[in-house]
Structures are given as C-alpha cells and as structure tokens.
Structure 1
Amino acid sequence: MFLMKDITRDGNPVLRNQSKKVEFPLSEDDKKLAKDLMDYLVISQDEEENKKYNLRPGVGLAAPQVGVNKMMASVLVPPEYEDEKSPFKDVIINPVIVSSSVQRGALTVGEGCLSVDKDIPGYVHRADRITVKYQDIDGVEHKVRLKHYPAIVVQHEIDHLHGTLFYDHIKKDNPFYREDNELFFE
C-alpha cells in the first residue's frame, strides 16, 4: 500500500518524463502497481482509514506519482460526483483521449494534486466531455465517454503520463480567466 511518503513530489524529474506503454499480460510488478494505485484511492476516501494512515484524499493517482514512468493510473470518482451516465472507477492502462468536446469545463476551486504540496490558484481549462480508450488490468480494451468532473479527473491523470502537471494549464498572466460559455463545477 502506498503512503504519503511514497508519493513523488513536484520537482522530481520523474513527474516530467513521458511514460512508457505497458505490455500485456501484466507482469506481477505491474499487477501489484495497479492494485496499490487503486487501494490508495479507496483508503484515502474512507474517513476512518484516511486518518489511520494519514493520507491526503485523492480521486486519481498515476504511476509517475509513485516514481514509475508507465502508462497506468487509477481513477475513483466519489459517488457525489457521479451521475448515471458518467460514473468512473478503474485502473486505466495505456489511455488515449480519442475525442474531446469544444465545450470547456473547469473546477471553481481549481485543481489540486497529491504530488503538489502547495496551493496554486487558477482555473485549469479542460474539455468538458471526452472519449477515452484504455485497457484494464486484464488487457481488455474499453472506450468510455465521460463528462464534467469525471472527464476532468481522467484528463488530469492522463496529463501525468505525459509529464504535464495541472498548473501548466493555468494562464500565468490571468489565472482566473473564464472562457466564453465555459462550465464550472464544484
């Protein structure tokens, strides 16, 4: 199980590297990595377990965030952010965004990251809807459509696999710039 001491922090070069494609069938190490990534999210979202292990709550955790440059991330969107068309919980392997909406979306509170210890204010403008293709831990290919908060979370995690951090998207000269017709979520 990963603890906060295992999370790679901003400034470590591994967070800026391009991750490598994962080969199937998964090695035992890759199976353990997938399980540990998801376990962190499950435990971090459980209030009692979170306190027990002193974890920061998370909705996504990518392999580079634990020092491994592989195309793998776990996503666990809490029930309060889900709707019947956009729930999402899975370990996504070799994910690719195959389409994205012109409509943009952002979180009103900005984004945070387990690897970034300081608060960096500003809006992170992302596609409001995406279609993503990925493989699960068994190598089965999935193609899912996500919108609103789940789409934002998945884009954040896929960014990690390409060496991009959320604050790279914030306009330096106008961090709270709003795009026309942009949707905002709590």
Structure 2
Amino acid sequence: MITMDDIVREGNPILEEVAKEVALPATEQDSATLHEMLEFLKNSQDQEIAEKYQLRPGVGIAAPQIGLSKRMIAIHFEDFDGNFYSDGLFNPRIVSHSVEKTFLSSGEGCLSVDREIQGYVPRYARITVKAINLAGEPIKLRLRGYAAVVLQHEIDHLNGLMFYDYINENNPFLKPDNAKPCDVD
C-alpha cells in the first residue's frame, strides 16, 4: 500500500526529469504499480482510511511522485459536471488542445508539495489525451475544465514540470490571457 511516506517531495531530482516511456504491453510489475497508485487515490479520498494512514487527499498521481521515472499516471475524481474519472494510464499524451485557457480560482495543490503555493496556474481549457488504460486498451479522452486541469497537472509530472512553474512570479493572481476560471459559474 502506498502511503505519504512513499511520496517524493519537491526538490527531489526525479520530479525534474522527463519520465521514460513504458514498454507495452505493460509488465505485470508496471500494471501492479499503476493499480497501487489508483488504490492510493481511492484510499486518500476515503475519510476513514485517510485518517488511519494519514493520507492527504489526491485526485491524481504520477509515477515520478513515487520515485519511478515512468510515464504512468492514475486519476480518481469527479468533475464539476458530475462526470467520474477513475483509471490508470500508460504513456498518456496530449494530442490536441484549445487556444482558450482556464485555471482553478483556488489554485492547485500537489501531493509532492507540503506547502501552500498561491496563484493562478494557466491551463488549456480543453485537451484530447491518448493513452493505454489499465485494461491494456488504447483510449482517447476529450476533456474540458477541471478534468483537463487534472490531466495536465499529472502529465506535467511526466515532463519534469511542477504546477508552480506556471504561476506568474511578479503577480501570482494575474488572470492569464484568454482564460476564465473553470470552477466558478
């Protein structure tokens, strides 16, 4: 079982590396690791389990965050429209994106960052992602709003980027050009 003790924190060089492609079909070990990553997210959102094991709630996790330089992410969340996403993805990549941007008005957080970092993180408002899911099937996800933000955050981990790399240093709450918040009606 993955716990917070297994989560790599900011400053660790693996979080700044571009992760390696996963050879497909995935090995039993890679599949088992991705299942564990998804299980961590489910556990982190279960109040009883989270309290017992002192887990911070997460909606996504990338393999570099548990010390593995592999292009694997797990997601487990419901977007603001009630759509539910729960899967593990091998070699996810953004194949197209909108010109329009979005951001979370409350900012973003990260399991690998133990401090609060305030500011707007500009993201594409809509993206299309291709990947191989946990069942070994090729999938194509068309995402917008919060779901697009979550996937971009996790895919950034595979490219050695942290969410705060996008925050305007001089004016953290400067509204990004051509953007509107995805979490406010």
TM range (shorter): over 0.9
CA contact (8 A) 2:97 2:124 kept: yes
Matched residue, 2:81: 83
Provide the aligned C-alpha RMSD in A: 1.3
Partner of 1:109: 106
Distance (Å, rounded) in 2 between the aligned partners of 1:70 and 1:151: 21
Provide Cα deviations, 1:27-57, integer angstroms capped at 9, x if missing partner: 1220111111000000101111111111000
Q: Report if the CA contact (8 A) 1:132-1:143 is conserved.
A: yes
Percent sequence identity over aligned pairs: 47
TM-score computed with the length of structure 2 as normaliser: 0.94
CA contact (8 A) 1:25 1:138 kept: no
Instruction: Work out whether residues 82 and 88 of structure 1, in 8 Å CA contact, stay in contact via their aligned partners in 2.
Output: no
Q: Which amino acid aligns with 2:63?
A: A
Counterpart Cα distance in 1 of 2:171 and 2:20 = 34
Name the residue aligned to 1:125: 122
Q: Which runs of 4+ in 1 moved over 4 A?
A: none
Which amino acid in the other structure matches residue 142 of structure 2?
Answer: R
Q: 1:178: which partner in 2?
A: 175
Query: What amino acid does structure 1 have at the position aligned with 2:93?
Result: V
1:136 to 119, 124, 133: 133
Would you say the 8 A contact 2:109–2:116 is kept in 1? yes
> Any residues of structure 2 matched to 1:1-186 within 5 Å, and which?
1-78=1-78, 81-83=79-81, 86-184=83-181, 185=183
Q: What is the deviation of 1:180? A: 4.4
Q: Which amino acid aligns with 1:130?
A: I
SS across alignment from 2:73: strand
Q: Which ranges of structure 2 fall in alignment gaps of 5 or more residues?
A: none
TM-score (norm 1): 0.94
